[in-house]
Amino acid sequence: MPRLRFALIASLVASTLAFAETAPTHIAPVDVATAIKLRDQAMNDGTAYAIVAGLSTEIGPRLAGGVNDQRARDWVAARFKALGFDKVTSEPVKFPRWVRDSEHAEILAPYPQKLAVLALGGSVGTPKGGVSADVVAFKTLDELKAASAAQLKDKIAYIGFHMAASKDGHTYGEAVGARVVGASVAASFGAKAIVIRSIGSDNERLPHTGVMQYDTKIARIPAAAISNSDADLLEHMLTLGKPVRLNLALDCGTQGEYTGANVIGEITGSEHPEEVIVIGGHLDSWDPGTGAIDDGAGVAITMAAAHLIGQLPQRPKRTIRVVAFANEEAGMYGANAYAEAHKNEVAKHLIGSESDFGAGRIWRLSAQVKPEALGAIDQIMQVLAPLDVQRGGDHAHGGDFGAMGAQGMAILDLGQDGTDYFNWHHTANDTMDKIDPKALAQNVAVYATYAYMAAQAIGDFGSKPGAFASAKEQE
Ligand SMILES: [Zn+2]
C-alpha cells in the first residue's frame, strides 16, 4: 500500500506542477483597480510633453555619434534621476560614426534649377565639386533592378516611387527599399550616384533622410534624397524629352568607430526586482529636425509611464525598466547591443514594448505571448478600451526590442496612428509642434496601464529562450 500511496502522491504532485506551468496568467482585481486610476491620471499628466519639449529644446538633433550624442545621454540620465527612478545605468554601444557636412544638388540642363536634397545616412561623399551626369529615371526599385549597364553606365540613377500615407505605416515598407538598397543596385550597373524621391507621404520642399546600406561586394556610390516637390519638378522636366543633367555634391562619410550607450532607468520591483517589464524608445535621431517625433516622443512616453508607476504608494511587484536606445537609425545598434548583453536573461524579461512611431494616439494592441497569458491581455484590453484601443493580432515585432523577441521574449506592440507621421519623418519638420499633448498623454496612459498590469500579473507571458519561434517563421 505505501507504494501505491507514493505513486498517488507523485501523480498528484506532477499534475499540480503541470497546472502551475499552464495556469492562466491573470491580474488581481485590486491591481486592475490601481491600473484604472493610473490610466485616468496619465490622461491628464504633462510629464511626457515636458520631457520631449526639454529634449527637443535643450538638445535638439541627436545624430548617433555626433556632438549631441553624449549630451543627450547625460540629459536623459539626469531626467531619470529627477523623476525618481531607483536606478540609472548605461551600457556601451559601438558603431561606425557617420558624419554629414554638406550636400548640394542642381539640375544643370536643360533648365538649371537647384534642388532641396539630403545625403542618405551611411552614404559616401562625392569628389569635390560633385558628380555630374545625365539622369536615368525608374518608377520603382524593381524597375531599377531590371535595368542594364547599357542604360546606367556613368549615369545618375533616380527612383521616383512616392509613398502613400497609411495609419499603420505599411506603405513605408513598400517604399523604403529604394532608399536602403537602391545605391548598390544602381552601382551594379555602373551608375555614378543615385538620387531618390524622398521616402515620405508629404508634398513639402523638404527632403527626408534615412539610412542606406551598401552591398560589400559592390562599389560604393553616393546616395541622396530630393524633396517630393523637387522630385515632381525633375520628373516633369524628364517628360520634356531632353536629357536632364544633374550635379550632386555630398560632403559626408564614415569616420572611424564611436562608443555610445543605451541609457537605462528603473523603477525597482518590490517582490521580484530581477524580473523586468521593458519599455523604451530610441534616443538618437536624424539631424535635420529636432527629433521630437522620432523618437523623442517614444522616450518621453515610456519615461513618463514608468514615472507615474513610480509615484504610486507602493513599488510594483516587478521592475519597470525604460531603455533609451543608442543609434537605432543607422541599423539598431543599441537594440542589438541590449539583446547581446541580456541574452541570458530572456526569461526574466516578462514582456517588452518599444514606442517608435511618433506621437499619434495608440489604436491597436498586438500581443505575442503564450496562449495561457491571453486572458491577462484581455484584462489589459478591458482597461484600455475606453482609450479607443482595439485588439490586434497575435504577432508583434517589438521595434528595438525585436532582437530580444527573436530570442524568445514576449512582446506587445502598441500601434500608433501614423497617418501624418511620414509627412515629417526624418525631415527638418520633425519638431515639437507636430505633437498633440492630448494624444501624447493617451500614449502614456496606455503604457502606464499595461506596464503596471504586466508587473503585477500572477504568472508570466511566455518569455523563454527560443519561444515564439513559429511566429518568426510566419513573418
Ligand atoms: Zn525611430
HEC string of 110-131? Answer: CCCEEECEEECECCCCCCCCCE
Give me the amino acid identity at 424.
Answer: W
**Spatial CA neighbour of 267 closest among 49, 454, 438:** 454
Counting residues of the chain whose pLDDT is more than 70, the rounded percentage is 94
Distance CA 348, CA 463 (A): 8
Residue range 118-125: mean pLDDT, rounded: 98
DSSP-derived secondary structure letter, 359? S
**What's the fold here for domain 25-86+268-474?**
Aminopeptidase (3.40.630)
- Centroid of ligand 1 to alpha carbon of 414 (angstroms): 14
The predicted pLDDT at position 181 comes to: 98
Residue 471 pLDDT more than 80? Answer: no
Residue range 353-370: mean pLDDT, rounded: 98
Contact 126, 307 (CB under 8 A): no
Confidence of residue 474 (pLDDT cuts 50, 70, 90): very low
Contact 446, 362 (CB under 8 A): yes
Residue 1 pLDDT more than 50? Answer: no
- Per-residue pLDDT tens over the stretch 364-405: 999 999 999 999 999 999 999 999 999 999 999 999 999 999
CATH 3.40.630.10 segments of the chain: 25-86+268-474
- 141-143-146-152 Cα dihedral, nearest 10 degrees: -80
Q: Which one of 328, 340, 345, 372 is the catalytic residue?
A: 328
82 alpha-carbon distance from chain centroid: 26
Contact 122, 254 (CB under 8 A): yes
- Centroid of ligand 1 to alpha carbon of 282 (angstroms): 6
- Centroid of ligand 1 to alpha carbon of 27 (angstroms): 32
Confidence of residue 17 (pLDDT cuts 50, 70, 90): low
**What's the fold here for domain 101-254?**
Glucose Oxidase; domain 1 (3.50.30)
The predicted pLDDT at position 12 comes to: 55
- Centroid of ligand 1 to alpha carbon of 149 (angstroms): 36
- Per-residue pLDDT tens over the stretch 311-320: 999 999 999 9
Look up cell 545624430; give the residue. Answer: 63
- Centroid of ligand 1 to alpha carbon of 164 (angstroms): 19
- Centroid of ligand 1 to alpha carbon of 218 (angstroms): 28
Assess whether 328 carries a catalytic annotation: yes
Give me the amino acid identity at 344.
Answer: N
- Per-residue pLDDT tens over the stretch 287-336: 999 999 999 999 999 999 999 999 999 999 999 999 999 999 999 999 99
Provide the grid cell at 276.
523586468
At residue 90, the 3 state secondary structure works out as strand
The H or E element containing residue 304 is helix 297-310
**Number of neighbours of residue 292 by Cβ within 10 angstroms:** 26
Contact 418, 8 (CB under 8 A): no
Provide the grid cell at 176.
523604403
Confidence of residue 475 (pLDDT cuts 50, 70, 90): very low
CATH 3.50.30.30 segments of the chain: 101-254
